[in-house]
Structure 1
Amino acid sequence: MVEFSKTLHGIKADLAAGKYSSKDLVTAIYADIEQKDEAINAFITLNKEQALAAAEQADQIGYGSDAPVLNGIPLAIKDNILTEGLRTTAASKMLENFVPTYDATVIAKLKAAGAIIIGKVNMDEFAMGGSNQTSYFGPVHNPWDLERVPGGSSGGSAAVVASQQVPGALGTDTGGSVRNPAAFNGLVGMKPTYGTVSRLGVISFGSSLDQVGPLTHTVADNALLLEVIAGHDEGDSTSLPTEQYDFSSKIGQDLKGMKIAFPKEYKVDSINTEIRQRMQEAADFFESQGATVEEVSLPHSVYGINVYYIIASSEASSNLQRYDGIRYGYRSEAAQTLEEVYVQSRSEGFGDEVKRRIILGTFSLSAGAFDLYFKKAAQVRTLIKQEFQAVFDQYDLIMGPTTTSTAFLIGGKETKDPVEMYTADLLTVNSNLTGLPAISIPAGLDQAGLPIGLQLMAKAQDEATLYQVAHAFEQGHDYLSQEPNFVKGDK
C-alpha cells in the first residue's frame, strides 16, 4: 500500500518526485477508508469511480511547475456543500436522496485546481450543533478517543483529516463549526473574513454568518487551500470584490513588534484549567518571539452567545422554509392534504435540534417578540463589532482558547441540556457575528491526551497575519508529530 504524507505540501512534493501516482494514492485512500471509517463514521457518500477517473487525468497532466496547484490532491467535502451528481444530504433525512445538478463555487474552484473529491463527510444536521451528534446518519467519533465527540458541525471533516484518511477537507463555520472541530482534533481550522469565500452552492444555515473554511494538519496547507477557494463570485451577493488572495506571503516572517491582545474574558474560571495554562504558555511564547501581549477587555463579548443563537436561529427559520415537501426533499407518505404535506414532511424530515432552532427563530421573528429579541440582538451585535474594532485599532491580533473544554463524551451530560450545549460556542461565535477572520491551531494535549486549540483573530481581510503568527507558533512546537491513538493502531 502507498505510504503517503499527511500534509498537502508533502503529497505535492511526492507526486512531483514520482514516488507514486495520484491513482495509486487515491486507491490507497479508499482502502484506508474501508479499514478505518466503520469506527469513525465520517463518510456519508464516497465518490470512488469519479475520483479514480480524476486521478488518472491528473497523472496524465503531470506534476511539473505548470500543473494546477492542487493537481492529484485528494480532499473530503462537508456534506452541506453541493457537488454535481454526488449526493448532498446536509446529514438530514430531509435531503437523504438529494443529488445536486451543479457544483458549489468552492467545488468548481477545487476541481479547476486539480483537486480530487474523495467523498462527502458527516456533520451536524443542517450544520446545527457543536458535537456532530445531531446527524441523521449517526454521530462521528473522535480519532483521539472513539468515545468522544469530534466537535461540530464540521466534525466529519475534522475526523477524516485527523485519522489521516485524507490530507485536507472543507467545512463550514457559522458559529465556530470549523474551529471547534479543529481544536478537538488537533488540526488547523480557518474561518475566513465574511465574504472572502463564495457561499453559492452552500446549503444555508445563517446567511449573515456562514463561511466555508479549510481543515488541515499544517498552517501552510491551510493557506494553500484557502487561496484556491477564495475570491469574488458574481453569483454570491455577499462576496467581497477581491478577485485573488495571497494568504501565504507573510509565512516565515518573525513576530518582532507585533501587538497581541489577550482579553480577560478569555481567562475566566469556566474555561478548563489546563486550557488556560496552555494559553498562558502561548502568550509567553509570543513574547519570546518579540511580540507584545497585553490584557484587554471585551465586556460585550460575553453576550455573543445569546446574540448568536437569536440571529442564527432566526436566519435558519427563514432559510429552512423552502423544505416543505413540495419541490424537493423528504415528503411524508402519510400526508393527505396540502397542510399535512407541509406539517408532516417537516415534522418527520427534520431532527429535534433543527426543529428546536426553527421554533426559536420563528418566535424571535414573530410580531410580538421581534423588537424584544431579534432587534435587540442585532443592536448588541453592532456593539460587539464596535468593541472588537476598538481593540484592533491598537492591536494586530486577539488570542485566546478556541473552546472551554477538550472533547467530551458522546451522549455525555454536556449534550443532554441544549443550553449547556450551546455555550460550547462561547469563544467562537464573535468571529462570525463580527465577520472577522479567526483560526484555531494545535496548542498541545491535556493530561488525558486530548488536543487543545489556540484561537487567533485578526482584522477583516488580514488572514495573512493570522497565518504568519500561527506558522511561527507551529514552528516553535512539535505538535505535527502528535497522532491520535486510532492512527497509531490503538483502536
Structure 2
Amino acid sequence: MTDLTRLTIAEARARLAAKDFTALELTDAYLGAIEAANGALNAYVTVTPEQARKMAVASDARIADGKAGALEGIPLGIKDLFATEGVHTQACSHILDGFKPRYESTVTANLWADGAVMLGKLNMDEFAMGSSNESSYYGPVKNPWRAEGANRDLVPGGSSGGSAAAVAAHLCAGATATDTGGSIRQPAAFTGTVGIKPTYGRCSRWGIVAFASSLDQAGPIARDVRDAAILLKSMASTDAKDTTSVDLPVPDYEQALGGSLKGMKIGIPREYRVDGMPDEIEALWQKGIAWLKDAGAEIVDISLPHTKYALPAYYIVAPAEASSNLARYDGVRYGLRVDGKDIADMYEQTRAEGFGQEVKRRIMIGTYVLSAGYYDAYYLRAQKVRTLIKRDFETAFHAGVDAILTPATPSSAFGIADQELAADPVKMYLNDVFTVTVNMAGLPGIAVPAGLDASGLPLGLQLIGKPFEEETLFKTAYAIEQAAGRFEPKRWW
C-alpha cells in the first residue's frame, strides 16, 4: 500500500469509498507522521489522537452504511484561531492559557458535519498578527522547505504558518486557516501549497478569535487546487450567528475545474511592479501570463491607482480593530490572570505578561489612531482610502476583467530570526504588499504554486476575483497548476 499521507483529499476520498483502507487506518497514518515530524517542525500546538480515532471509527461506520459525507474520514488540522469544543483554543497566545471553549466554530462544525476528522490544533502567529509565524507563544514553525544545499531553517509565512507547514509536510490532508491581510495566501506561497481567501462573508466568522473583524476571513490551505475547492465547499455557509455572513448558495467549486478560459479577460495591474522587486518574481509573473494566454485567456493591462496606499491604510485599520477586539482579554473571566494590588493593576500585569511584543505593538498603534484628536487624521482617512481601493477593483471588473493576476509575495521564504526583519517591523509588514488590497476590498484571492526560485524554494502567483466568484478563481488557478506542475519539499525532518 502507498503511504496514505501522500494521497490528496480527492484521492483519499475515492479510496475510502472503494474500501481500499479504513478512515481509522488513514487517521493513524497521519498521527504517526505528526509524532515523527512535529518535534522538528512545530506545526501542531495540540494533537488530539483519541478524538481523531473516535471520529474516524464513526466515519467508517457511516461509509459502511452508505451515508458518507463530502469529507468522510478525511483528517484535517485546525488553526488555533478556530474554537473547538473542549479542545485547546488559545490563538497561540499566553493570555488565553488553558482556554477550552464550550462551543464549536461554525466553520469547524460544518467540516465535522461532512465527516472530517480532527487531528489537532495548528501553530500560528499570536492572534494572527504576523507574516512569519515567529510571534507564537509556542515558538516558530519551521518551513518544510529548505534552500538547495543549505540547512538554514526558514519561516513558513504567517499567520497561518502551522496550517501551511502541516499541509506541505503531509501532517494533515488539508487545514483551516484565516486571512486578514494575506495570512492564507502568503504562507501557501512560501510552502508550495494552495490557499484561498474567499470573499468576505462567504465563510462564517462565528467562533473564530477576532483580530480585525472587517478584514478577517476563513479559508482552506490544501495540497492542490481541487482539494482547496473540496474544502471550501464544506467550510462555506450562511450563518445567522454572523451578521456579515452572506445568504448565497454555496456552489460545488470542484465542478469549475478544467473549464475553458477562452473569452476570459485577465488583468495585469501595473502598480504591482513595486520598487526593488526581484527579477525572479517578475519572470514568474510573465510565465503565469504566458500560461493563461496559452489556455485561451486574453491579457489586458489595468491600473489600480490607489494600491500604494493599501499597506499604510491596512496598518491603521487592522490595528484599530485589533485594539478594540483585544480589550476583552483582561484576566477576569478566563485565560491568564496575574494578580495586582487592585483591579486596574491586575489588568495591566495580565496584559503585560499575556500579550507578546507584536500584539502589544499593534494594540498601541490601534489605540493611538482611535484616540481623540487622531481618529479623523488616521482611522477615518484610512477608511476613505479603503473605499478608493475597492473602487479601483470595481472599475477594472466593470471594464470586463474576469480576474487579476499578480505575484503572491515579494520573495521566497526568508530565514527564522532574520535580523534585518526583526530590527525593522515595517520591512516585515512589506511581505503583505500584494495581498492586503484583497482584504481591504473584501474580494476573493487564491495563491497557487507556480515555480521555484534560484535556490529551489517555492514561489506563488495570486489571482484576485470578483465578489463571490470563487469558481472563476478555482478554474483559472487550476489552469496555472496544470501548466506549472506540483511541488514538494525534500524531506529533512
Scaled to the shorter chain, the TM-score interval is: over 0.9
- 1:349-378 per-residue CA deviation (whole Å, 9 max, x = no partner) reads 000000000000000000110010000000
For structure 2, the residue ranges without an aligned partner over 5 or more in a row are: 147-151
- Aligned partner of 2:347 in structure 1 is 342
- Aligned partner of 2:464 in structure 1 is 457
Supply the distance in 1 between the matched residues of 2:429 and 2:64 (Cα, whole angstroms): 46
- 3-state DSSP class of the match of 2:176? strand
The within-5 A match list for 1:281-296 is 281-296=287-302
CA contact (8 A) 1:189 1:216 kept: yes
1:136 shift after superposition: 0.4
| Stretch moving more, 408-417 or 166-175 | 408-417
Percentage of pairs with the same residue: 48
| Stretch moving more, 4-13 or 451-460 | 4-13
1:372 to 374, 377, 382: 377
- 3-state DSSP class of the match of 2:267? strand
1:297 shift after superposition: 1.5
CA contact (8 A) 2:95 2:355 kept: yes
1:148 to 142, 154, 162: 154
- Aligned partner of 1:29 in structure 2 is 30
1:341 shift after superposition: 0.9
1:246 shift after superposition: 2.7
- 1:223-264 per-residue CA deviation (whole Å, 9 max, x = no partner) reads 111011111100001100114333233211111111000111
- Aligned partner of 1:470 in structure 2 is 477
CA contact (8 A) 2:449 2:484 kept: no
CA contact (8 A) 1:265 1:299 kept: yes
CA contact (8 A) 1:231 1:245 kept: no
CA contact (8 A) 1:2 1:24 kept: no
2:276 to 270, 273, 285: 270
2:201 to 195, 201, 207: 195
1:388 shift after superposition: 0.8
| Stretch moving more, 294-303 or 261-270 | 261-270
CA contact (8 A) 1:188 1:222 kept: yes
CA contact (8 A) 1:270 1:404 kept: no
Supply the distance in 2 between the matched residues of 1:415 and 1:203 (Cα, whole angstroms): 26
CA contact (8 A) 1:230 1:245 kept: no
For structure 1, the residue ranges without an aligned partner over 5 or more in a row are: none
Q: How many residues align?
A: 485
- Aligned partner of 2:361 in structure 1 is 356
Residue 175 of structure 1 pairs with residue 181 of structure 2: yes
1:478 maps to amino acid = G
- 3-state DSSP class of the match of 2:351? helix
1:272 maps to amino acid = P
Residue 60 of structure 1 pairs with residue 61 of structure 2: yes
- Aligned partner of 1:184 in structure 2 is 190
2:312 maps to amino acid = N
1:275 shift after superposition: 1.3
1:272 shift after superposition: 2.0
- 3-state DSSP class of the match of 1:443? strand
1:443 maps to amino acid = A
- 3-state DSSP class of the match of 1:249? helix
- 1:110-131 per-residue CA deviation (whole Å, 9 max, x = no partner) reads 1100000100000000000000
1:28 shift after superposition: 1.5
Residue 409 of structure 1 pairs with residue 415 of structure 2: yes
1:134 shift after superposition: 0.2
- Aligned partner of 2:3 in structure 1 is 3
- 3-state DSSP class of the match of 1:131? coil
1:426 shift after superposition: 0.7
CA contact (8 A) 1:143 1:163 kept: yes
1:308 to 306, 314, 329: 314
- 3-state DSSP class of the match of 1:313? helix
The within-5 A match list for 1:242-261 is 242-261=248-267
1:2 shift after superposition: 6.7
- Aligned partner of 1:45 in structure 2 is 46
2:475 maps to amino acid = Q
